[in-house]
């Protein structure tokens, strides 16, 4: 059934796990799957019980790109009128930290999906790439822009112009991957990181994500102003008082997200 192409469960208290489930298509991102991803990220972003999200695929593929059958015969007007950018924006604007647990292929739209996340944990045999040039197009969901911001102009140019994938180890060395772990430890490690985040003050976590993402496209002076205002704002939270009191009293804090 179509509803099964995206599986959702609670991996731990406060941690949601989303699993792409199109193994027959190497988890390719068709329109239905992108819509379901957008719907789930919007719901999880608004759920006060969820503090972090883990996104994964299966052993063979995180996501091996867009489903070419969806677009092979499309014309420009058809592509312009599809709500694709709105589906991606739902992930981009999700206020909760998102951790990608990547095994196997993360190519094309799959690589772009991973780059929409905040932390990428990759297995040793994973591979990343933007091969769109090989079928006559360019990346269309941030593959030229997010990749350049992640790895720099020269590495990004090589990946996008040639369309060849890089290994997980190469991706880590160029700054595209946060952590590299054995394949069979990828999901456990991603969930462990999400659990650590879930114990931290949600308002501070949310502000860190918001300021970091907004600041990278602003001038340094503007970004520092955003950071300073966010820093000051958090002194109005109960969690700030709890965190500092717990530190002084040498006990574990209990954060409520207030």
- pLDDT tens digits for range 47-66: 999 999 999 999 999 999 87
Residues 156-182: what's their mean pLDDT?
A: 97
Beta bridge mates, 98: 53
Residue 2, pLDDT above cutoff 60: no
The CA distance from 49 to 15, in Å, is: 9
pLDDT computed for residue 65 by the predictor: 85
* Tokens (6 digits) for 82: 């599809």
The CA distance from 116 to 197, in Å, is: 18
The CA distance from 172 to 255, in Å, is: 33
pLDDT computed for residue 254 by the predictor: 93
From residue 46, give the alpha-carbon distance in Å to each of 41, 96, 246: 9, 9, 28
pLDDT computed for residue 66 by the predictor: 79
Decide if 133 contacts 108 (C-beta within 8 A). Answer: no
Residues near 89 by Cβ (< 8 Å), separated by ≥ 6?
A: 38
Q: What are phi and psi of 29, to 5 degrees?
A: -90, 95
Residues 2-30: what's their mean pLDDT?
A: 90
Residues 113-126: what's their mean pLDDT?
A: 98
Residues 91-100: what's their mean pLDDT?
A: 96
pLDDT computed for residue 115 by the predictor: 97
Decide if 174 contacts 155 (C-beta within 8 A). Answer: yes
The CA radius of gyration of the chain, in Å to the nearest whole number, is 19
pLDDT computed for residue 225 by the predictor: 97
The total number of residues written for the chain in this structure = 258
Query: Which tens digits make up the pLDDT trace of 203-232?
Result: 999 999 999 999 998 999 999 999 999 999
Residue 250, pLDDT above cutoff 60: yes
pLDDT computed for residue 183 by the predictor: 97
The CA distance from 147 to 150, in Å, is: 5
**To 10 degrees, the CA torsion angle through 72, 18, 159, 60?**
-80
From residue 60, give the alpha-carbon distance in Å to each of 158, 170, 241: 25, 19, 46
The residues annotated with a catalytic role in the active site are: 66, 109, 112, 132
User: pLDDT confidence of 70, banded at 50, 70, 90?
Assistant: confident
Q: What is the mean pLDDT of the chain?
A: 94
pLDDT computed for residue 76 by the predictor: 86
Write down all domains in the chain, each with its CATH number in brackets: 2-198 (3.90.226.10), 202-249 (1.10.12.10)
pLDDT computed for residue 100 by the predictor: 98
User: pLDDT confidence of 81, banded at 50, 70, 90?
Assistant: confident
pLDDT computed for residue 72 by the predictor: 75
Q: Work out the angle between the directed axes of helices 238-249 and 202-215 (0-180°, nearest 10).
A: 110
pLDDT computed for residue 149 by the predictor: 94
């Amino acid at each position: 059934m179509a509803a099964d192409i995206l599986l959702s469960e609670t991996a731990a208290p406060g941690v949601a796990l989303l699993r792409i489930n199109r193994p027959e298509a190497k988890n390719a991102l068709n329109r239905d799957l992108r819509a379901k991803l957008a719907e789930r990220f919007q719901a999880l972003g608004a759920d006060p019980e969820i503090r972090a999200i883990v996104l994964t695929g299966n052993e063979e593929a995180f996501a091996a790109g867009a489903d070419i059958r969806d677009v092979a015969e499309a014309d420009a007007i058809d592509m312009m009128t599809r709500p694709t950018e709105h589906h991606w924006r739902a992930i981009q604007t999700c206020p909760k930290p998102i951790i990608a647990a990547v095994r196997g292929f993360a190519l094309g739209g799959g690589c772009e999906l991973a780059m929409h996340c905040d932390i990428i944990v990759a297995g040793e045999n994973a591979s990343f790439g933007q091969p769109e040039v090989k079928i006559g197009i360019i990346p269309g969901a941030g593959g030229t822009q997010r990749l350049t911001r992640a790895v720099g102009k020269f590495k990004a140019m090589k990946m996008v112009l040639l369309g060849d994938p890089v290994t997980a180890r190469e991706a880590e060395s160029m700054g595209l991957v946060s952590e590299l772990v054995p394949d069979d430890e990828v999901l456990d490690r991603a969930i462990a990181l999400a659990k650590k985040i879930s114990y931290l003050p949600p308002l501070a976590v949310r502000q860190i994500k918001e300021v970091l993402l907004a600041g990278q496209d602003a001038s340094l002076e503007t970004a520092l102003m955003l950071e300073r205002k966010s820093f000051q704002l958090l002194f109005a939270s109960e969690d700030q008082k709890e965190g500092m009191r717990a530190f002084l009293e040498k006990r574990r804090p209990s954060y409520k997200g207030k």
